[in-house]
Each structure stands twice: as C-alpha cells, then as structure tokens.
C-alpha cells in the first residue's frame, strides 16, 4: 500500500485516540502564562507516542521531534487559551472536554488544542512507520500566544537558535490550506488637557473632548485604509478598543486621556506607516500636535518565570500560491482525500507573524476546527477534522522531500 494510504488508514484507526487526547488537553485549564500543567501533560503524551526527543524550552514551550533528517519542519500549536468570559453564555462546562455527536467540546477545542492533539497523533504515526526521511519533524506546543502572538517563536529563533526550514501552523482553518494573513500592532495615543474647576470649563482644555475627536478621527482613518494590490489579504483596519479619561476630580475638566487602538496591517503596511497615519489624522482632528503616539511593549512573565518581552508589533506575511510548501500541501491533501483543497488566508493573527513575518521562514496553515469558534462561547471542533489533520501532518514531510526553495 502507498504511504499515503497507510497514513490515512492509521489516522482513521487513531481518531478516538486523538479525540481523547484533545479532551484531556481541554480539561487542563491553560490561560496565557499559566500553561505549566498542560505542558507537562503534553510532554507525557509525546513520550507515550514514542517521540525521539521531547523537551521544554526556557520560556515554557514544549518541543518534540521525530526523525533525524538534515532538514527541518516544525508543526506549531499554541496551547494557551483565552478565558471563558461570561459563563452564562455557555451551555456546557467549558472544561469538560466532552466528546459528543462526533464533536469535542470545550475552551480550546478549535483555538487551538485540536491542532496540538492532531500533531501528537501525526508524530505517533511517523514513529510507527519508522520515518527516516530527509526531515527532522518538530512539533512545537507553544505558550503565551493569546497574549502576544509570535513571541514564543521569536524566543525560539532568536534565543534558542532554532530556525526550521518550514513551518506549519495548526491554527483552525477548517482543513483548508492557508498561505498568509494580515499583521497587527497595538497603538496607544496619549492626549493632554488643562484641568480647571468643573463649574467654569471654559478656563481649561478638556482631554475628554480631544479624545472624542481623536476617536472619530480613527474611525475616519479606518474608512480610508486601502486593500493590498492583489486583494488577497484585504484592507487594513484600525479600531479604538479602549478609552480612559481622568482629571483631578469628578468636579474638574479632564486633563488626561488615553486611546488604545487595534491596527490590522495588510501587505505593504508596517509600524512606521501606521503610526504616521494616526499622528496625521489625530493632529488634524484636535488641531494641535501636543500628544503622543506610541507602540507599547508586552511584558508578562510566563510559567517558567523567564523574563522576556517584545514590542506589540506583528508583521504581515504571505507566501505565493506556487511556493513549494503550498504545492506540497496541495499534493498531500489530494493524495490523501482525492479532492482539491481550498487555498486561502486567515482573518486573525497567528504565530506566523514571527516565523514568517519577522524571520521569513516559509509557512502554511492547516488546522482542525473553524476560525469563528476562536474566543467564542460553546467552542467545539469536529473529530473528523482531527483525523484529517493527523493524516495531513504525517504525510507532508514525505511530500516535501526533494523540494528546494
């Protein structure tokens, strides 16, 4: 039997194994920077699956390997999740990991512990096949992505000197092949006023009113942003996500305001451009230049207590449809499932902002579950998706063999 048939059959035989592992991962609560317990579970699962090497990096991510080839490919899943939010919006226990009606239920089922469970199964299949191809196949289970996407990979590349030849993100794609997404950055605008007694506001300068005009300026900027030249990634966006206004008292004109903005960056846009646009639009709206526009840093210590930080800038990335990695993914999908895959892009952001946006490692996305399940109540993923992805991950190193960049 051809290798693709062996992989497809074994992924089907292991579908319950994969679903049960996902259930275990969901039951292990793992908010950003609090992933220790799920990381230790993943270490055990990878060892039980027969991985050739399993270790934890100094930032807390689990790195497993199958094979000893001279080239490297890394399959990546972040294993932290966002919090539950309003529990009244859930119709089941977010951490039950219940398997019901060919679905796995719970926080992280799609975003994105489903990818992690499928990766473990893929490693197990490769070991059973005695894989000895040209790749060392790495499986990275990474931390703190929900807080700061890509920082875990920035650390792996820049501090641990681990830079694979190819990356596959297992974020949810509904089992489609994705080849890019917009970047993003966070922007903080600080506005100044002059306080005075609230009984005579004409004596002061209100930072609150400046903030209102600045917010409307950001709305206008969002309307004016243009799409990329080939209309693949679409237009950039910007929105005000938080506003804070304060002054000496409740009976005073506000002398301080802060607007926090989420900026999504299409192809050809970067941090310098985005900040200059905000400066221009806010200056025109408030009639002066006495304000600050800045990009904050992320500074949160993870479960290993290793200090590490970065600016909140996450570069845009894409690779071309005819790139060898995309073509290998298409070949693998067609050989496994006898149909043509959809090739598209994400709406949201992933760790590929670091691997590909920052460090130019070719990457694709292929993951179980749906993007619209991310951060939503009643999160689920399909067991069928887990099976499909397990087979795809196991076959891809074979299909990449011999392909040159």
- Asked whether the predicted pLDDT for residue 405 surpasses 90, the reply is no
CB 369 within 8 A of CB 112: yes
Please give the structure tokens belonging to residue 295.
Answer: 């990009």
Residue of 76, 80, 269, 370 with catalytic role: 80
- Asked whether the predicted pLDDT for residue 1 surpasses 90, the reply is no
Q: CB 321: neighbour CB atoms within 10 A? A: 12
Q: What is the CA radius of gyration of the chain?
A: 23
For tokens 């902002």, the residue is 353
Q: In the chain, what are the domains?
A: 3-181+316-400 (3.40.630.10), 183-299 (3.30.70.360)
Using DSSP's 3-state secondary structure scheme, residue 238 falls into strand
pLDDT at 402: 80
- Asked whether the predicted pLDDT for residue 283 surpasses 80, the reply is yes
CA 375 to chain centre: 12
Query: pLDDT band at residue 404, thresholds of 50, 70 and 90?
Result: confident
Query: pLDDT band at residue 197, thresholds of 50, 70 and 90?
Result: very high
| Average pLDDT score, the chain | 97
For this structure, is 145 an active site residue?
A: yes
Residue 335: CB partners within 8 Å, gap ≥ 6? 2, 4, 395, 399
73: left (phi over 0), alpha (psi -120 to 50) or beta: beta
- Asked whether the predicted pLDDT for residue 248 surpasses 80, the reply is yes
Residue of 57, 111, 145, 146 with catalytic role: 145
pLDDT-wise least confident of 77-91, 110-124, 367-381, 391-405: 391-405
Burial of 66 (0-12, 13-18, 19+ CB in 10 A): buried
Please write the tens of the pLDDT for every residue from 298-323: 988 999 999 999 999 999 999 999 99
Q: How far apart are CA 78 and CA 62, in angstroms?
A: 10
Q: How far apart are CA 389 and CA 391, in angstroms?
A: 5
Burial of 283 (0-12, 13-18, 19+ CB in 10 A): middle
- Asked whether the predicted pLDDT for residue 223 surpasses 90, the reply is yes
Q: How far apart are CA 363 and CA 169, in angstroms?
A: 7
Please write the tens of the pLDDT for every residue from 3-60: 999 999 999 999 999 999 999 999 999 999 999 999 999 999 999 999 999 999 999 9
């Amino acid at each position: 039997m051809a290798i693709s048939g062996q992989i497809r059959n074994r992924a089907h035989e292991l579908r319950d194994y994969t679903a049960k592992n996902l259930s275990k991962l969901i039951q292990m609560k793992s908010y950003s920077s609090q992933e220790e317990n799920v990381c230790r579970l993943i270490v055990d699962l990878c060892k039980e699956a027969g991985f050739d090497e399993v270790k934890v990096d100094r930032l807390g991510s689990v790195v497993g390997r199958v094979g000893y080839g001279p080239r490297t490919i890394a399959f990546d899943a972040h294993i932290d999740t966002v919090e539950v939010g309003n529990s009244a919006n859930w119709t089941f226990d977010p951490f039950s990991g219940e398997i019901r009606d060919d679905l796995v239920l719970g926080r992280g089922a799609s975003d994105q512990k489903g990818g992690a469970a499928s990766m473990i199964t893929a490693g197990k299949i490769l070991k059973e096949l005695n894989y000895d191809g040209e790749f060392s196949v790495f499986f990275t289970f990474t931390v703190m992505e929900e807080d700061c996407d890509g920082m875990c990979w920035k650390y792996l590349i820049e501090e641990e000197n681990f830079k694979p030849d190819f990356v596959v993100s297992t974020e949810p794609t509904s089992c489609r092949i994705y080849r890019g997404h917009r970047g993003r950055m966070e922007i903080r605008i600080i506005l100044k006023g002059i306080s005075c007694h609230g009984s005579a506001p004409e004596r002061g300068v209100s930072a609150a009113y400046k903030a209102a005009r600045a917010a409307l300026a950001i709305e206008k900027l969002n309307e004016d942003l243009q799409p990329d030249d080939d209309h693949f990634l679409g237009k950039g966006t910007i929105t005000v996500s938080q506003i804070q206004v304060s002054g000496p008292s409740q009976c005073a004109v506000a002398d301080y305001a802060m607007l926090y903005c989420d900026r999504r960056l299409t192809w050809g846009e970067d941090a310098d451009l985005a900040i200059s646009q905000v400066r221009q639009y806010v200056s025109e709206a408030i009639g002066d230049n006495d304000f600050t526009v800045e990009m904050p840093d992320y500074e949160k210590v993870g479960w290993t207590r290793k200090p590490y930080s970065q600016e909140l800038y996450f570069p845009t990335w894409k690779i071309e449809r005819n790139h060898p990695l995309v073509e290998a993914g298409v070949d693998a999908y067609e050989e496994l499932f006898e149909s043509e895959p959809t090739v598209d892009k994400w709406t949201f952001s992933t760790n590929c902002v670091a691997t590909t946006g920052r460090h130019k490692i070719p990457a694709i996305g292929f993951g179980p579950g749906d993007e619209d399940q991310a951060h939503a109540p009643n999160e689920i993923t399909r067991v069928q998706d887990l099976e499909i992805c397990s087979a795809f991950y196991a076959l891809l190193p074979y299909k990449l063999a011999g392909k040159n960049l």
